[in-house]
Amino acid sequence: MSKLLGWRKIPIGTIILEAGSTFEVRTGDWRTFKPVIDHNKCTRCGLCYYYCPDGSITLEVKDGKIVKVDIDYYHCKGCAICEGICPVKAITMVEEVK
């Protein structure tokens, strides 16, 4: 039977050395379905931006107005919250093909 280490000998783990380090993690690789925006239907209301739990909706803003809404596929995990929240059904989840 192996001897358990005392707490002083256990290596230090789970330390975040700098803020924002998870930005580097390609969480989009976890996705099985991806959201696609129909830009002809999108009214640029911004709701999907506020509801996305991963901050994966990007907004292009000019003169204080949203002029374009897009998806950051590097980070989007495919949860489909944006599809459900869009009031004009401009977002559709499609199967991810890799």
Residues at the site binding ligand SF4, with contacts judged by CB under 6 A: 35, 37, 42-48, 52, 54, 56-57, 69, 71, 76-82, 86, 88, 90-91
**Which two tokens mark 42?**
């999108």
Alpha-helical regions (H) of 1-98? 47-51, 81-85
C-beta closer to ligand SF4: residue 6 or 53? 53
Q: How far is the CB of 5 from ligand SF4 (least distance, A)?
A: 39
Quick one: CA dihedral 60, 29, 84, 55, positive or negative?
negative
C-beta closer to ligand SF4: residue 23 or 43? 43
**Which two tokens mark 60?**
């292009």
C-beta closer to ligand SF4: residue 17 or 87? 87
Helix (H) or strand (E) holding 33: strand 33-37
Q: How far is the CB of 92 from ligand SF4 (least distance, A)?
A: 10
